[in-house]
Amino acid sequence: MRNETSLFRSRLRRTLLLIPVLGLTLAAAGCETLDSLNPFNEREKPLPGARQPVFPEGVPGVDYNQAPPQPANSAYNPYQNEPPAAGAAAATGPAQ
């Protein structure tokens, strides 16, 4: 009897400790930013100096009117058998 009650109490204690932790986790997950939770109230200062664009006319070597290049492996499909080469198909196929 004593063993059952101590087991029940330990499970109850564990559950009661878990509830506030889950509540705080869900509350923090609902925040857009965690800046308001900063306990030291430190703000990052922007670096001094004038802001200038690095490439005012656009990035050199990039044509914005052209479609972006496709990756080299975009035509590869691992689930489709590759067709045999033209010479290999004639050599391995049945003679008709």
Reported confidence tier of residue 49, pLDDT bands at 50, 70, 90 = very high
CA distances from 79 to 71, 74, 76, 84, 86 (A): 18, 13, 9, 15, 21
| Entry pTM | 0.31
Please tell me the predicted confidence (pLDDT) of residue 81.
Answer: 66
Q: Rounded mean pLDDT of the chain?
A: 76
Residue 17: pLDDT over 80: yes
Query: Residues 38-67: what's their mean pLDDT?
Result: 84
What number is the average pLDDT over the span 82-91?
Answer: 55
Provide the pLDDT for residue 45: 84
Range picked from 2-11, 15-24, 60-69, 71-80 for highest mean pLDDT: 15-24
The string of DSSP letters for 37-58 reads G-TT---PPPPSS----S-TT-
